């Protein structure tokens, strides 16, 4: 046996105002895919997604990247997989290319990935889930990480900088936001906890694709817009808007290939779709999950000024809730 520990479901943050004062640490919110990295004593490395799916084969360039740092001990890390643009900022669309179809060699050339490590959940025989955040971060900081595919970002406290000033700096750098983590907090696998509070600067929303409208002009024969849904508190899928911008040429081709086999006759949304959006719509089984950026969610339950970011295979359709 290789001695690789089992996966740990990620602890999740609650969105809210940035807490200010003692007792909190502040970390940059990264724009990528959540990942649990598990390392065996012999350096064998395995990766699992937020849903617990095996994704090691998607990222062969990350094999063994933390083997030297762990010094022959098994370990479990929590972090985010990102692709960095030339300016050093995470690029979500480039990250998407790692999950699109195509030869692995091409994907590696076009989208080298970095594992942003922000938590240590096990080291050797010591399971650290009940240890406070401060101990886990101190142990992580002491590991001799020296690999271009790995980064351990600094965390700050109110003693280092005013949190709102830090948020301004993050915004100026074009990053996604901040996550505040209670210094005394334990790691609670698979749960959303108010011990972690996220303050996003970019409004993003997971969406369920319930239909599409054919394109015109240079998009003739391709997807013109996607019809989007989210689940209401009663569990029913509601129409919450559409998106017709932000698609790469590759994304348009991939979406059409995925949507056609999902065709159905009936609209999957429980509420009424506006007539101008339902006209010429092609309804599909609501199994595809994507993500959009948007400026506003209106009082009548609609996303406004949307742009497509890409598919999310780490979120289940039933986990997608409508904003508000």
Q: Which of 29, 46, 181, 198 is catalytic?
A: 29
Give me the phi and psi of 94, to 5 degrees please.
Answer: -65, -35
Using CA atoms, how far apart are residues 178 and 198, in angstroms rounded to an integer? 6
CA contacts within 13 A on the Cβ side of 122: 20
Is 33 exposed, middle or buried, given 0-12, 13-18 or 19+ CB atoms closer than 10 A?
A: buried
* 128 close to 111: Cβ distance less than 8 angstroms: no
Using CA atoms, how far apart are residues 67 and 175, in angstroms rounded to an integer? 29
Say whether 181 is catalytic: no
Instruction: List residues with catalytic annotation.
Output: 29
């Amino acid at each position: 046996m290789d001695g690789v520990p089992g996966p740990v479901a990620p602890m999740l943050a609650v969105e809210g105002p940035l807490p200010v004062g003692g007792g909190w640490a502040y970390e940059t919110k990264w724009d990528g895919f959540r990942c649990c990295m598990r390392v065996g004593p012999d350096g064998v490395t395995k990766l699992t997604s937020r849903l617990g799916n095996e994704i090691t084969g998607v990222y062969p360039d990350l094999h063994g990247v933390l083997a030297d740092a762990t010094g022959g001990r098994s370990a479990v890390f929590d972090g985010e997989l990102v692709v960095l643009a030339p300016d050093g900022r995470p690029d979500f669309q480039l990250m998407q290319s790692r999950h699109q179809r195509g030869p692995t060699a091409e994907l590696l050339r076009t989208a080298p990935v970095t594992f942003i490590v922000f938590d240590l959940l096990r080291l050797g025989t010591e399971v650290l889930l009940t240890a406070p955040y401060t101990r886990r971060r101190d142990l992580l900081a002491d590991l001799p990480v020296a690999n271009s595919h790995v980064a351990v970002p600094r965390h700050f406290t109110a003693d280092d900088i005013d949190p709102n000033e830090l948020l301004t700096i993050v915004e100026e750098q074009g990053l996604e936001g901040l996550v505040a983590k209670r210094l005394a907090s334990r790691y609670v696998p698979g749960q959303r906890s108010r011990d972690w509070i996220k303050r996003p600067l970019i409004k993003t929303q997971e969406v369920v694709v319930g239909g599409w409208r054919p394109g015109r002009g240079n998009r003739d024969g391709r997807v013109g817009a996607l019809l989007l849904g989210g689940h209401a508190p009663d569990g029913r899928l509601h129409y919450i808007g559409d998106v017709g911008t932000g698609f790469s040429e590759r994304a348009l081709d991939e979406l059409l290939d995925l949507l056609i086999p999902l065709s159905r006759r009936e609209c999957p949304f429980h509420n009424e779709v506006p007539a101008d959006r339902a006209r010429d719509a092609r309804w599909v089984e609501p199994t595809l999950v994507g993500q959009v950026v948007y400026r506003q969610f209106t009082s009548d339950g609609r996303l406004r000024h949307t742009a497509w970011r890409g598919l999310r295979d780490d979120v289940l359709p039933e986990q997608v809730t409508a904003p508000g």
